[in-house]
Amino acid sequence: MEKIEYDIDEFMDYCTVKNLSVKTIASYEQTLRLLAHYLIEFHNVKSAENTKELHIMSYIKYLKDRGKYTVVSNQNTKNINFPENREDFGKKIETTTINNYIRNIKVFYNYLYNNRYITNNPVTRIKEIRCTRKAVGFIDDENFNRLLKVFDLSKFHEYRDYIITQLMFDTGMRLGETLLIKETDIDFKKRTILLPAENTKGKKDRYAFFSEEMLKQLRRWLKYKDRYRQSEYVFCTNKGKSLNISNYENNFKKYGNRIGLSEIHPHMLRNNFAKRFLMRGGDIYTLSKILGHSSVKVTEEAYLDLDTDDLRTNYQRYSPLANLKRK
């Protein structure tokens, strides 16, 4: 085991003590193990101290040239997972994914430098790749109504998914946050849902708000759910456990396929909430708080991509002359 691998172990212990989410820790570890394998095999760099800026730049180019699933930290896994059988094997890695790798690498080396494990920081001048952001996917009223009609409400899991779909659309919650809601988190009088810090991306308590229509739907669902399942979770599996994210994602894709919407994804429900909120006159600051973003800038970068039709519609609603009170 080389020195850089011990450095990574030290960093992973630090992340665990900091109580970072399992998802974040896993992302760091995957990125850093792949980097270490590359540095050792291609540059004979066996410690973080000997890593240069050129090595990091070379690794970024290597990722861009090689493509998806072509880089592994342990060659033996290829004989188990057979990544070459994947449909997207070797396809271009998205710029957003590479930028995530860059952020992880920078956090690692900054940690080592700030704690004096290394004397020179190789990532000081490393910058993320500028990328063109894709427009947020939008589901119009017609297609959303079509989607709601494909659920078989006589089946427990489809009725459950039907309510999840509407709740995300109505509140803008993330899928992971939605699936961990417990009955005790819901305040029907105030029409709010408490999202505990341990369940949110920003690790802060937050409240989600829902409509009168959603209140009726939730009450009806909970009566139905409690007749057949004993669980503290609002959206549970047949065994009463919280529903897995990938389970709902796969189901949601199937529902979309039933009406020919093959590109549909659960996060589009959150996107649609945000765009509709802005189109109906909501301000960006309030939206940022509702979505649980760390700053207004994050919200602007994610959702301020209204097209010409959106702008025209908003203009007609708020035109100064059209709204002028005439005597």
Q: Which residues of the chain have pLDDT under 50?
A: 68-89
Q: Are residues 106 and 148 in the same domain?
A: no
Q: Structural domain tally of the chain?
A: 2
Q: Which domain holds residue 80?
A: 3-114
Q: Are residues 107 and 237 in the same domain?
A: no
Q: Are residues 7 and 105 in the same domain?
A: yes
What count of other Cβ atoms lies within 10 Å of the Cβ of residue 59?
A: 21
250 found inside a domain: yes
* pLDDT value at residue 139: 87
* pLDDT value at residue 107: 96
Distances (CA, A) of 66 to 59, 63, 126, 130, 256: 10, 5, 20, 19, 33
Q: Are residues 255 and 162 in the same domain?
A: yes
* pLDDT value at residue 275: 87
Distances (CA, A) of 269 to 45, 170, 272, 321: 45, 8, 5, 35
Q: What is the pTM of this model?
A: 0.67
Q: What do you get for the CA distance between the two ends of the chain, in Å?
A: 84
* pLDDT value at residue 136: 59
129 found inside a domain: no
Residue with token string 């952001």: 133
